[in-house]
């Protein structure tokens, strides 16, 4: 599994003129690290906490369906 880099997160925020993750948002990996995605800014996006939970749940469901 790819290790998450605080520096990459910081670079992502800087690219979006932010100094921190806005309240109510989380940084998401567009292609999950567990599915071969990279931990670089071009594979990151801001999602609301609710959107992130929904996306993560869908990805987990999809992953469990593939392994069964």
pLDDT (tens digit per residue) in 9-48 = 999 999 999 999 999 999 999 999 989 999 999 999 999 9
d(CA 21, CA 62): 28
Query: The tokens 């990151």 sit on which residue?
Result: 44
Q: For residue 9, what pLDDT is reported?
A: 97
13: Cβ–Cβ under 8 A, 6 or more apart, which residues? 19, 20, 21, 27
In a domain, 59, yes or no: yes
Q: What is the pLDDT of residue 6?
A: 95
Q: For position 65, what pLDDT does the model report?
A: 72
pLDDT at position 63? 74
Looking at the domain assignment, is residue 17 inside a domain? Answer: yes
Sorted by sequence, the CB contacts under 8 Å of residue 25 that are 6+ apart come out as: 46, 47, 48, 49
Q: How many domains does the chain have?
A: 1
In a domain, 1, yes or no: no
């Amino acid at each position: 599994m790819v290790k998450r880099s605080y520096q990459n997160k910081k670079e992502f925020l800087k690219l979006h003129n932010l100094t921190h993750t806005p309240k109510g948002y989380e940084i998401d990996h567009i292609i999950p690290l567990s599915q071969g995605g990279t931990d670089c800014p071009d594979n990151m996006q801001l999602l609301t906490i609710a959107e992130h939970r929904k996306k993560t749940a869908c990805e987990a469901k999809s992953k469990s369906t593939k392994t069964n």
